[in-house]
Structure 1
Amino acid sequence: MSAIVLFMAVIAIIAGWWLSQQRLMSKPWLEEGPIGNYPGTGAATWPAAKIGLGVFLAVAGSLFALFISAYSMRMVMVDWRTMPVPGLLWFNTGVLVVSSVALQWAYVAARRDDMGNVIIGLCAGGASAITFLIGQLLAWQQLRAAGYFVASNPANSFFYMITAAHGLHLMGGLVALGRTTARVWRGAEMAQVRLSVELCAIYWHFLLLVWLVLLGLLTGWTDEFVDICRRLLT
């Protein structure tokens, strides 16, 4: 349960920060002066696409939280046999970090109207994400070759299900990233693609965060980290 508490705490902090930007406690009917003088009283402070992405990330985060909760409760039963974590997952994690950094690079370049670095960042991010997916498939192959099949053990089933769910979300992000890259490559105006680049970067950061939590859960260091924090607080 400590893993899901940690994950939900991070989601709650992000959601709280987002809500704090929306002026939910404001009373625009009591404010005087031009409407433009009061942020948030005119048009939406965030584009609809960004709000839609936020809602989707909240739903996806809840889905992974349920996975984490089910994993934590199932692993205490007597038929649970912990499976080894392939060392390739650490390489894959590094690749996903590179992908997230590359998309952040593209976003910063987009804010500076630097089309060349935007293309480099998008291509590097996409290539790293594809490498991550290939690495995940190779990790699956290594486990199957060692006799760790899906139906052999509940731990095996959870491993394949969790990594597959994360991979499917990444594949969906690659579709959006491919469309954005194609628009930039065709010479679209930077103002028309800046938001798309930003949304891709946000989505990749979310997937990286989710993967780090999942990796910690699969390797067991998430509970150790929570225990250390608990000792420090007490």
Structure 2
Amino acid sequence: MSIMFVFLGVIGTIAAWWLSRQRLASKPWLEVGAIDDAGASSLPAAKIGLGVFLAVVGALFALFFSAYVMRMHMVETNLADWKAPPLPGLLWLNTGVLILSSGALQWARGAARHREMEALKAGLIAGGVLSLAFLAGQLLAWRNLVDAGYFLASNPANAFFYLITGVHGLHVLGGLAALGATLAKAWDGVAFDQMRLSVELCAIYWHFLLLVWLVFFGLLLLTDPIRSESGLIAAICRVF
């Protein structure tokens, strides 16, 4: 259960910091100046919606991670049906690709802030291409595991791996739809003031997906049967 509380605590801390920077608690009726100026800096509805959505998705993944760890520890009660698959080496490359994708979206976010359309387009395209490469790499990792005999129904460890990576991949795929719509706006010459929010929301979403993946990848490293033979890794697993 502790891994769930840690993950939720991290998500909650990030959400609180982010909301504090958006003047969510501001009182526009007390602002000095015109009505339009007073409300111009209020938190956009799209940001609030994204924040709520990410909180729900974060709680979902926290439950997945908690169930993963608890089910793994049930081996200690003579339910010796848990056999974690070996960690595909391709996941290291996929992790690096996802980091680059998140960085590309952050670059596009900065380009939107500085009104640099060409750099913005390049960042969006790079982020999308790298995200597609990440999904392709995940599918290839699945295929490698299946070819090695690690099927979905073989044991609970395999089922959790395919479930969590599959759900994460679906969220990346959904983000690509929003990214495509944002890229279409950039190509249509939409004003920067209208583009900035869309690009910022995409960047935030990608950073969140990266955080979720890094947490799960860390769990995989700790439970990898090759590495779990060391006393240090086993001790860390027992803490969680």
Same fold (TM over 0.5): yes
Aligned counterpart for 1:209 among listed residues 203, 208, 211: 211
Residue 147 of structure 1 corresponds to 149
Q: In the alignment, is the contact (CA less than 8 A) between 2:101 and 2:127 conserved in 1?
A: yes
Displacement of 1:42: 4.1
Task: Please state whether the residue corresponding to 1:216 is helix, strand or coil.
Answer: helix
Match of 1:138 in 2: 140
The answer to whether the 8 A contact 2:28-2:39 is kept is no
Q: Secondary structure at the match of 2:153?
A: helix
How far residue 162 of structure 1 moved from its aligned partner, in angstroms, is 0.2
Specify every segment of 5 or more residues in structure 1 that has no aligned partner in the other structure, as ranges.
Answer: none
Q: Percent identity?
A: 61
Tell me how far 1:4 sits from its aligned partner: 2.1
Match of 2:71 in 1: 74
For 1:190 and 1:28, locate their aligned partners in 2 and report how far apart those are by CA, in whole Å: 25
Backbone CA RMSD of aligned residues: 2.6
Deviations 1:75-94 (A, max 9, x none): 11222112111000000000
2:14 maps to: 14
- For 2:106, the equivalent position in structure 1 comes to 104
1:34 aligned onto 2:32: yes
User: 1:161-211, CA deviations, whole angstroms, 9 ceiling, x for partnerless residues?
Assistant: 000000000000000000100110122221221110110000000000000
* Match of residue 122, structure 2, among 120, 123, 134: 120
**1:216 deviation in Å?**
0.7
**Per-residue deviation, 1:47:** 0.7
TM-score (norm 2): 0.84
**Distance in 2 (alpha carbons) for counterparts of 1:10 and 1:81:** 29
Match among 159, 162, 172 for residue 160 of structure 1: 162
Count of matched residue positions in the alignment of Structure 1 and Structure 2: 222
The 1:51/1:27 distance shift into structure 2, 3 A limit, reads: closer
Question: Does the Cα contact within 8 Å between 1:3 and 1:217 map onto a contact in 2?
Answer: no
Q: Deviations over 1:37-95 (max 9, x none)?
A: 9x9x7466211111111110001101101101111111112221121110000000000
Q: Which moved more, 1:177-186 or 1:115-124?
A: 177-186
Shift, 1:18, TM fit: 3.7
1:183 paired residue number: 185
**Pair 1:94–1:23, CA change in 2 (3 A):** closer
